[in-house]
Amino acid sequence: MIAGIRDAAHAVEAATVMRLLPNRPRLLALGEPTHGEDRLLDVRNALFRQLVEQEGYRTIAIESDCMAGLLVDDYVTSGVGDLDEVMARGFSHQWGAFPGNRELVRWMRAYNDGRPASAQLRFAGFDGPLEITHAASPRHALTALHAYLTTRADAELLPCAADTLDDLLGGDEQWTNPAAMTDPSASVGRTPEAARLRLIADDLVTLLDAQLPQLVAASTPEEWDRARLYGRTATGLLRYHAAMADPSPSRMARLLALRDAMMAANLLAVAERGTALVNAHNSHLQRDRSTMRMGGQPVRWWSAGAIVSTHLGREYAFLATAVGTIRHQGVDTPPPDTVEGLLYALPQERHLVDAHRLAATLATTTPPARVSPWFGYAPLDPTHLADIDGIVFVRDARSELREQPA
């Protein structure tokens, strides 16, 4: 068995990734089993850099706020802003504090410097404006969409004036109230004002289709892309806030599904623009249904990767990252009979593993799932191997001295 596993393991390089896949996918996704680990981000950065330079990928999309990500995109393409400010304001979930993400943005800016716009590398956040503690107010996206249409669409077709929007939105603090994450009664998502805002948002998004020729003719490609992003985000946030006000037992499943549906819509929009590299948690990118336990109960939903893969077929590829140890979090050497344990027995520090070949090698003996002692790490599910294109395996998530970028 060890010989078969060894034969399935290769160097983590762009060329070996391409040999592993049946075609060059439009979206090439790299998942991770935990967030913020230096070595995993260094491995991601090195692989993405090779895929950009050798395979011509032109967007890097990260599990971060799609609206805030516009600041990062402006910085890497034109140098607008200051790197410190961009890292502080251009990422959600505090991802901007991770050195690996800072290095990625710094490198993207350096790569683009002096290149024509058509050859530049773009950045995209593809998560909704959502945090663990709250969801954003729909104000930014809704007012930006309204302003775009006000200057380009037929004025008599707009469903309301800007001041009406402002009155209906009220104070942003009522939308971002952290109590609403656990208490549906604290949410404003199903108030009469919120219900009317959902209708207005739907009317505004419909105008994007109804006046498509006029709007495209009056817009740059960038303005048109952003208008569509504003529409997706406004309607997505209003749906999410409505689900936050839902007191039924399916509330959390609905929230998780809505978040990944927003992610999927953003990824499909990125794919329309060209080839892209995607990085997020494995659970958001896998083809299988995602599961987690909340309040002691299992919750299941279809991930963004599952949705996008259904749309794109072979134009979507998924590499899962697996890890041996995260010792500073109490994740020690994996049991030898788990997938992580079998890969940990190989001598190199990192491998790109042919998941289909690994699944065939293990066909007669399904390994047990590894159990994590730390809530922040999700081990690889061995039943998912057949639906993974490759596994990037890293023996140890943190080295004594952080690796320097190439």
pLDDT score of 406: 34
Q: Are residues 145 and 245 in the same domain?
A: yes
Joined together, the tokens standing for residue 381 give: 């599910």
pLDDT score of 401: 41
d(CA 212, CA 221) in angstroms, rounded, equals 12
Parent domain of 90: 2-132+261-396
Q: Are residues 107 and 160 in the same domain?
A: no
Query: Is residue 353 classed exposed, middle or buried when 0-12, 13-18 and 19+ CB atoms within 10 A define those classes?
Result: buried
Joined together, the tokens standing for residue 259 give: 């978040």
d(CA 242, CA 182) in angstroms, rounded, equals 14
pLDDT score of 297: 83
Q: Are residues 119 and 267 in the same domain?
A: yes
Cβ–Cβ under 8 Å, residues 335 and 341: yes
What is the mean pLDDT, run by run of 10 residues, along the chain of 406 residues?
A: 81 97 97 96 98 98 98 97 97 96 98 96 98 95 98 97 98 97 97 98 98 98 98 98 96 96 98 98 97 86 98 98 97 97 94 94 90 96 96 86 39
User: Which among 215, 250, 285 is the end of a domain?
Assistant: 250
Q: Are residues 184 and 242 in the same domain?
A: yes
Report yes or no on 350 lying in a domain. yes
Report yes or no on 256 lying in a domain. no
Domain containing 33 — which CATH number?
3.40.50.11550
User: Which among 218, 250, 282 is the end of a domain?
Assistant: 250
> How many C-beta atoms surround the C-beta of residue 120 within 10 A?
18
Q: Are residues 128 and 146 in the same domain?
A: no
pLDDT score of 2: 65
Give first-to-last CA distance, the chain, whole Å. Answer: 35
pLDDT score of 1: 64
d(CA 203, CA 207) in angstroms, rounded, equals 6
Q: What is the identity of the amino acid at 406? A: A
Q: What is the identity of the amino acid at 214? A: Q
Joined together, the tokens standing for residue 76 give: 């890497």
User: Which among 250, 285, 320 is the end of a domain?
Assistant: 250
Q: What is the identity of the amino acid at 300? A: R
Cβ–Cβ under 8 Å, residues 376 and 8: no
Q: Are residues 266 and 124 in the same domain?
A: yes
Q: Following DSSP, what letter does each residue of 309-349 receive, concatenated?
A: HHHHGGGEEEEEEEEEEBGGGTB-SPPTTSHHHHHHTSSSS
pLDDT score of 399: 58
d(CA 299, CA 290) in angstroms, rounded, equals 8
- How many domains does one find in the chain? 2
The dihedrals phi and psi of 139, each to the nearest 5 degrees, come to -55, -55
Report yes or no on 77 lying in a domain. yes
Cα angle 73, 142, 205; round to 5: 95
Q: What is the identity of the amino acid at 363? A: A
The pTM for the full model equals 0.95
Q: Are residues 109 and 149 in the same domain?
A: no
Query: Is residue 111 classed exposed, middle or buried when 0-12, 13-18 and 19+ CB atoms within 10 A define those classes?
Result: middle
d(CA 65, CA 171) in angstroms, rounded, equals 21
Q: Are residues 151 and 244 in the same domain?
A: yes
Q: Are residues 168 and 212 in the same domain?
A: yes
**What share of residues in the chain are helix, strand, coil (percent, to 5)?**
55, 15, 30
Helix axes 139-152, 221-244, angle to 10 degrees: 140
Handedness of CA 9, 305, 95, 55 (dihedral sign): positive
59-65/9-10 β-pairing: unpaired
Q: Are residues 157 and 184 in the same domain?
A: yes
Q: Are residues 277 and 217 in the same domain?
A: no
pLDDT score of 293: 84
Q: Are residues 105 and 169 in the same domain?
A: no
Q: Which one-letter DSSP state was computed for residue 180?
A: G
